[in-house]
């Protein structure tokens, strides 16, 4: 294993082709020279909504309207296959609608709570 030298410890790879990269595209993703003008394609989340590309001082990431922030690694995994666990604490809870003057049986209540 080679010795780490200041400024050389992090090797960024292109979002599209995994080559060593030093540039950013207009969306803030680290890309190689060949893909500098290529926009990042839309990705669907596990829940079915579209992911929105964002950037921060730590790099690019995605945000799902239902699941919350999703890292670049998770989004790349979603792009290649399905079924990745997302941030469960950000998932929106479904609203349970109760009727005010109705008497519910236990079975009906269990069905409402399981939604």
Does residue 101 lie in a domain region?
yes
- With 0-12 / 13-18 / 19 or more C-beta atoms within 10 angstroms meaning exposed / middle / buried, residue 63 is middle
Q: Are 36 and 25 in contact (CB under 8 A)?
A: yes
Residues of the chain with pLDDT under 70: 1-2, 7-9, 80-98, 114-115
Q: Do residues 36 and 62 share a domain? A: no
Does residue 2 lie in a domain region?
no
Q: Do residues 84 and 49 share a domain? A: yes
User: Can you tell me whether residue 50 is helix, strand or coil?
Assistant: strand
- The length of the chain is 115
User: Can you tell me whether residue 31 is helix, strand or coil?
Assistant: strand
Q: Residue 8's pLDDT is what? A: 64
Does residue 67 lie in a domain region?
yes
Q: Residue 90's pLDDT is what? A: 54
Q: Residue 82's pLDDT is what? A: 52
Q: Residue 12's pLDDT is what? A: 80
């Amino acid at each position: 294993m080679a010795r780490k030298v200041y400024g050389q410890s992090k090797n960024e790879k292109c979002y599209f082709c995994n080559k060593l990269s030093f540039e950013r595209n207009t969306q803030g993703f680290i890309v190689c020279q060949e893909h500098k003008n290529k926009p990042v394609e839309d990705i669907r989340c596990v829940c079915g909504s579209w992911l929105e590309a964002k950037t921060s001082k730590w790099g690019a990431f995605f945000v799902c309207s239902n699941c919350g922030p999703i890292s670049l690694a998770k989004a790349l995994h979603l792009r290649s296959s399905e079924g990745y666990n997302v941030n469960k604490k950000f998932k929106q809870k479904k609203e349970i609608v109760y009727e005010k003057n109705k008497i519910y049986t236990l079975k009906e209540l269990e069905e409402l709570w399981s939604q």
